[in-house]
Chains A and B, each alone.
Chain A
Amino acid sequence: MTWVGKSLRRKEDDRLIRGRGLFTDDELAPGMLHLYILRSPYAHARILDVDVSAAEALPGVACTLTGREVAELCDPYMQLAPGPAANIRDLPMAVDKVVYQGEPVAAVAATSAAIAMDAGLLIEVDYEMLDSVMDVEQSLQDDTVLHDAAGTNRVWHGVFDYGDVDKAFAEAAHVVRIDRLHFHRYSSTPLENNACVAEWTRQGTVEFLCNNSFPGFAQQLLAPGLRLRTDQLHIRTYDVGGSFGNKIWNYVYMALAALASRKAGGQRVKWSEIRTEHLLASGHGNERTFLDTEVALDANGVLTAIRSRHLDDCGAYTRYEPLGCVIWSQVTPATYGIRNLRIDFTQAVTNKCPVVPNRGYSRMQHLWFMERVLDICAHELGIPADEMRLRNYIREFPYETPNGCIYDSGNYPAMLDKAKALIGWDDWQKKQAEARADGRLLGIGIGTTLDSGTNNFGQAQIMNPDLPFSGNSEVATMKLDLEGQIVVCLGTGPSGQGHETAASQVVADELNISPDSVYVRPGFDTAWNTFVGHSGTYASQFAVTGLSAVHGACQKLKAEMRRLAAFMLEAAEEDLDFCTGEEGPELRIKGTDRAINYWFLSNLVNNNNAMLPESLADVTLNVRHVYRPPFKVPDTERKFGNLTLTYAAQLHIAVIEVDRETGRPKILAYSAVDDCGKVINPKIAAGQVHGATNHGIGAALMESFNYDEIGNLLTSTFSDYCPITSMNIPDVQYGNIETPSPFSYNGAKGMGEGGGGPLHTIAAALQDALFAEGIIIDDSHHSPSRVFDRLQEPNRDRRVSVRSG
């Protein structure tokens, strides 16, 4: 029996379908306090005074916190940026001024959430409003500077220059110029808000139950921020209601709950964010503007060079940034064979919510750009969409990109064929011709996406050579427990990806037992000693890092079990089989009925060990394995090196009709083909594809964080933000192909972040529908009103120019 590759029903579901999960907000205990965070109504303002006296006088209030107190009790969080931006003082609460709407300015802990909120509303804050910087180009003028300590709004600048760009332009048959493209601000907004329960114990340690999704990173920021050692933090998660990257920097708020507990004498403090807070102040996806793009093509429409200026708007604080300034370069040429690129990349702060990694983080902005470029060129040169891709796709693998990344495997033409078959390509071509004859606006678009997984953190050094990060690692611990149960702990801290199930499948295959005999502990816990600095669920890597760690732990535990069994059965180790007998899992001498079961083995070590020889003194049946992918430190001068281990791919096709009267785009058909190498659990992998597709469609057509000119977020509730519902998602035809990765032990590629796919695809379909109207799709968000405006005011003449010959 092989379990890997089967659509095993998930272990997690047993508790979740019964309402017996443990999400952080479910935790409640006698005497627990509840934290309310008062947030700035202004995007940019000086704080003149904070008066908490009325709040503190309210019965039920245990304590308040102000920015000044927080600044005395905390050190600013470590900044990753080099240069002036390294001086940004990032504290969990604003001290002298606020730099985005929703930034914490004070907090109250009280005996109930309602009293805490009542008290919060009694806090009086005097503000002096300052000019808001709401546009990245305006920000770079530095007329108004957000962070005095930095002295500039510019966070990062670097030039990524590969091949011989100038030569390629000199030799080009066509040069297409696109003056401006814009990728909008949205996030995948998990349904469970951020939350934590903190207890600053009398022993000086802090206990956290939280839903952070990158706890390996969080503890390295939180501990110094709170002036503690990492071993003084006990961080655990259990069930986490989605993250999509968005819960990576909620450590900022965890610190406030910890400080409130400290001030309240060690009482437990719970903080549960409400949705409006989440949308205002818990991280948005990166917004990016692409300027002055020039594309060189040969006579056949093959892209030979691109030069462009990219401006990334990271919001008010850098937090996880400016990593995004380099992360995109994991997919520098997208899925195309282009060898010459010069990207001038700048990031700046604005008075908006700080950004946070969001499903497809930084790569999808770049992939959207590359797809727009290719697609616009195809339309301008009159080359059919499918033909244009086929002329440009990378075909040989492993493939080294111009910046030294190694694409492990893939077959984009086969994905295109499959996506065409699923959607009924030829049929839609005919229908399109008919529609056009009727004057209807019907477009067919293709989007090809890469989901690069398993980061080489050495890319952080391309951004800042002084950062002490490189490589990657993940850990699993595994033991044969007292009664012979297999217990596995993961460092990954999942948020809905079914890690308990997938890990069980791997263990079951290794030990030749049923997954039901494997207990994988839910969540993450620093007390298990199952973490490294990279531990977490992010960057599409569990199938590689997490499962390689589990697989490695299996080998170590098996080696110990084999040695013990060989001693007890007086057999040679190589004569032993791992199998399941009548009484359950056991080791058996091949071809005999002589066996020893797991209870007996465990008991020998843990309870009944006087007969064990000295040669088995090192056997503990409790093993820890750290998996490290084979990475090298990139060449930071040339910005060159392998930045990720695996490259899953998505190829989507959309058919969209635009209503000429209202501008409303409607998806008529949609197909999505995924390649994540060898699939561990098809049901789980398909679920990730469905979810990512849903996020991308929602982002392209509905979801957007819109600010007014003074920094009010206009979409700060679900009613305004309009997350995609069951009424909006089209029927999608799903399919997959498998090109096994040569770089992972199991042939799997990390996956789950193909969130960008629909953004490219829908833009391409709209381009196809509207090109004849003189419209260039220059934005990633397509609300009916935006499309309507475009129809009234075609932009092709001012957006694009072509020079041939």
Chain B
Amino acid sequence: MNTIEIIEKVSVEVTINGQRQRRDVEPRMLLVQFIRDELRLTGTHIGCDTTYCGACTVLLNGEPVKSCTVLAAQADQCEILTVEGLEQDGKLHPLQEAFAEHHGLQCGYCTPGMLMSSVALLADNPSPGRKEIRKGIAGNLCRCTGYHNIFKAVEAAAEEMREGADHGHQI
């Protein structure tokens, strides 16, 4: 007869989009479930079960990670940024603006992950060429746009961020 042992919960405390949050969760809980189900930030999506699609991408201590492949417990005491944290003081992040302006999204399901990977890309490389943009979002699937307009949106946002250093975004 199979039995399942009930394991005690672990405490996870994170700073997410600038806010301190603590929850007691099952040790097996994934970070993406923690973000979506415990903290109710449902902008971060789930699109696969093999760390392939990147819909769940968030920044963990500034690094892009696929939050379906990180345990919530591993994120304890970390800083997390999700799509909900991109807009600051009512002002959209230049990448958010550019994705809308250049039609870099259709159904919008990949968009949060795509935005977070792009944020990380531009933090690393403010002037990426087309090849570097392709590589920067290679871990993020989009099934609607054919990527064409996403490339254009990232290029436009990069330009905006270089030229308008005063756009006010700290990200």
| Residues of A bordering B, CB below 8 Å | 7, 9-10, 12-21, 23, 25-26, 28, 54, 58-59, 114, 118, 121-122, 188-193, 239-242, 244, 272, 274-276, 495-498, 683-684, 686-687, 690-695, 717-719, 723, 725-727, 729, 731-732, 734
A693→B143 CA distance, assembly (Å): 11
Asked if A687 and B106 make an inter-chain contact with CB atoms under 8 angstroms apart, the answer reads yes
By the criterion CB–CB under 8 Å, are A690 and B145 in contact? yes
- With a CB–CB cut-off of 8 A, which chain A residues contact B134? 726-727
Q: Which of B4, B103, B146, B149 has the most CB of A within 10 A?
A: B146
Chain A: minimal CB distance from B119 (Å): 12
Residues of chain A lying within 8 A (CB to CB) of residue B112: 19
- A-chain residues with CB within 8 Å of residue B41 when the two chains form the complex: 19
Report A20 CB to chain B, min CB distance, Å: 7
CB distance from A108 to the nearest CB of B (A): 13
In whole angstroms, how far apart are the Cα atoms of A719 and B51 in the complex?
Answer: 8
Q: Are B99 and A13 in contact (CB under 8 A)?
A: yes
What residues of chain B lie closer than 8 Å to A114, measured between beta carbons? 26, 28-29
Within 8 A of A (CB), among B100-136: 100-101, 103, 105-112, 115, 130, 133-135
Give chain B nearest CB distance to A757 CB in angstroms. Answer: 12
Question: CB distance A275 to B49 under 8 Å?
Answer: yes
B114 closest partner in A (C-beta): A726
Contact A23 B49 (CB under 8 A): no
Interchain CB contact under 8 A, A687 and B48: no
**Can you sample 17 A-B contacts with CB below 8 Å?**
A17-B100, A19-B84, A23-B42, A114-B26, A114-B28, A191-B53, A239-B108, A241-B47, A275-B52, A496-B106, A498-B106, A690-B147, A691-B106, A726-B137, A726-B138, A727-B134, A729-B147
Question: Is the Cβ of A727 less than 8 Å from the Cβ of B49?
Answer: no
When chains A and B are docked, how far (Å) is the Cα of A719 from the Cα of B50? Answer: 7
* Beyond known contacts A19-B44, A242-B143, A691-B106: 18 more, CB 8 A cutoff: A9-B101, A10-B103, A17-B92, A17-B96, A18-B43, A18-B84, A23-B109, A26-B42, A191-B47, A191-B144, A192-B47, A241-B45, A242-B106, A242-B109, A687-B149, A718-B53, A725-B147, A726-B142
- Residues in B with CB closer than 8 Å to A691 are 106, 143-146
A192 touches B109 (CB 8 A): yes
Q: Is there a chain A Cβ closer than 8 Å to B40's Cβ?
A: yes
Question: Complex Cα distance A25/B40, Å?
Answer: 12
Determine whether B59 belongs to the interface, using a CB cutoff of 8 Å to chain A: no
Interface residues on B, range: 35 or more
Rounded to whole Å, the gap between the CB of A116 and the closest CB of chain B is: 12
A-binding residues in B (CB < 8 A): 1-2, 4, 6, 26, 28-29, 36-37, 40-50, 52-53, 55, 82-84, 86-87, 92, 96, 99-101, 103, 105-112, 115, 130, 133-135, 137-138, 140-151
Separation of A468 and B147 alpha carbons in the complex (Å): 42
Q: Please pick, from A7, A191, A495, the residue contacting B142 in the complex, using a CB distance under 8 A.
A: A191
A residues near B86, Cβ cutoff 8 Å? 18
Chain B positions within 8 Å of A275 at CB level: 47-50, 52-53
Instruction: Determine the distance from Cα of A17 to Cα of B116 in the docked complex, in whole angstroms.
Output: 11
A191 CB contact (under 8 Å) in B28, B42, B55, B135: B55
Residue of B nearest to A277 (CB): B49
Q: Which residues of A contact B101 (CB under 8 A)?
A: 9
Which residues of chain B have C-beta atoms less than 8 A from A14's C-beta?
A: 100
Bound CA–CA A189/B147 (angstroms): 16
On whether the beta carbons of A723 and B49 are closer than 8 Å, the reply is: no
CA distance A718 to B135 in the complex (A): 18
Nearest 3 Cβ contacts at the A-B interface? A19-B43, A496-B107, A16-B108
CB contact between A188 and one of B45, B53, B143 (< 8 Å): that residue? B143
CB atoms of B141 and A725 under 8 A apart: yes
State whether A17 touches B141 (Cβ < 8 A): no
Contacts A191-B47, A729-B146: A9 and B138 contacting too (C-beta < 8 A)? Answer: no
CB of B141 to closest CB in A, whole Å: 6
A734 to B134, CA, bound (A): 19
Identify the closest chain A residue to B138 (Cβ): A727
Asked if A239 contacts B107 (CB within 8 A), the reply is yes
Q: In this complex, which of A192, A683, A684 has the most chain B Cβ atoms within 10 angstroms of its Cβ?
A: A192
Known pairs A191-B141, A723-B143; A729 contacts B148 (CB<8 A):
yes
A interface, by DSSP: helix, strand, loop or mixed? Answer: loop
CB neighbours of B47 from chain A (8 A): 191-193, 241, 275
Which residue of A9, A23, A191, A683 is within 8 Å of B143 (Cβ)? A191
Q: Which residues of A contact B6 (CB under 8 A)?
A: 59
CA gap between A312 and B107 in the complex, in Å:
31
**Does B107 lie within 8 Å of A192, measured CB to CB?**
yes
Q: Which residues of B contact A241 (CB under 8 A)?
A: 45, 47, 107-109
In the complex, the answer to whether A17 meets B111 with C-beta atoms within 8 Å is yes
The answer to whether B145 and A687 have CB atoms under 8 Å apart is yes
Q: Give complex CA distance A54, B4 in Å.
A: 11
Most-contacted residue by chain B among A242, A495, A684, A732 (CB, 10 A): A242
Which partner residue on chain B sits nearest A696 by CB separation? B146
With A9-B101, A54-B2, A717-B48 as contacts: A723 and B141 at CB distance below 8 Å = yes
Also in contact, A21 and B108, with CB within 8 A (given A122-B2, A687-B103, A726-B140): yes
| Cα distance A275–B103 in the bound complex, in angstroms | 26
Given A241-B109, A729-B148, residue A19 in contact with residue B82 (CB < 8 A): yes
- Closest residue to B87 on the A side, CB-wise? A18
The closest CB in chain B to the CB of A734 belongs to: B148
Cβ of B28: which chain A residues have Cβ within 8 Å of it?
114
- Contact pick for B42, options A19, A240, A684, CB 8 Å: A19
Report whether B37 and A717 are in contact in the complex, using a CB–CB cutoff of 8 Å. Answer: no
Q: Are B108 and A12 in contact (CB under 8 A)?
A: yes
A736 CB to nearest chain B CB (Å): 14
CB < 8 Å: which of A9, A18, A190, A239 contacts B83? Answer: A18
- Name B103's contact: one of A21, A239, A272, A686 (CB within 8 Å): A686
Closest to A683 in B: B103
Across the interface, A17 reaches (CB within 8 A) one of B29, B105, B137, B142, namely B105
Residue from B43, B100, B143 within 8 A of A10 (CB atoms) = B100
**CB pair A25 B46 closer than 8 Å:** yes
Q: Are B107 and A242 in contact (CB under 8 A)?
A: yes
Interface contact B50-A717, CB-CB below 8 Å: yes
CA A58 to CA B4, docked complex, whole Å: 8
A18, A272, A731: the one contacting B96 at CB < 8 Å is: A18
Cα distance A191–B47 when bound, in Å? 5
Closest to A276 in B: B49
User: Could you tell me the distance in whole angstroms from the C-beta of B146 to the nearest C-beta in chain A?
Assistant: 3
Q: How far is the CB of B55 from chain A (nearest CB, A)?
A: 6
Residues of B within 8 A of A276 (CB): 49-50
Q: Which residues of A contact B1 (CB under 8 A)?
A: 54
> Which chain B positions have C-beta within 8 A of A12?
108
CA distance A361 to B99 in the complex (A): 30
**Closest approach, in angstroms, between the C-beta of B80 and any C-beta of chain A?**
13
In Å, the complex CA distance between A275 and B55 comes to 12
| Closest chain B CB from A189 CB (angstroms) | 6
- In the complex, A690 Cα to B145 Cα: how many Å? 6
The answer to whether B115 touches A17, judged by C-beta atoms less than 8 angstroms apart, is yes
Q: How far is the CA of A263 from the CA of B141 in the complex (A)?
A: 38
Q: How far apart sit A650 and B150, CA to CA, in the bound complex (Å)?
A: 22
Q: Is the CB of B108 within 8 A of A718?
A: no
Provide the residues of chain B in CB contact with A732, threshold 8 Å: 146, 148
| Chain B residues near A121 (CB-CB < 8 A) | 2
| Closest B residue by C-beta to A115 | B4
Q: Please, how many angstroms separate the alpha-carbon atoms of A59 and B83 in the complex? A: 36
Residues of A within 8 A of B137 (CB): 726
Q: How far is the CA of A12 from the CA of B107 in the complex (A)?
A: 9
Q: How far is the CA of A121 from the CA of B141 in the complex (A)?
A: 30
| Cα(A25)–Cα(B36), bound, Å | 10
A802 to chain B: closest CB distance in Å?
A: 38
Q: List, in ascending order, chain A residues with CB within 8 A of B83's CB.
A: 17-19
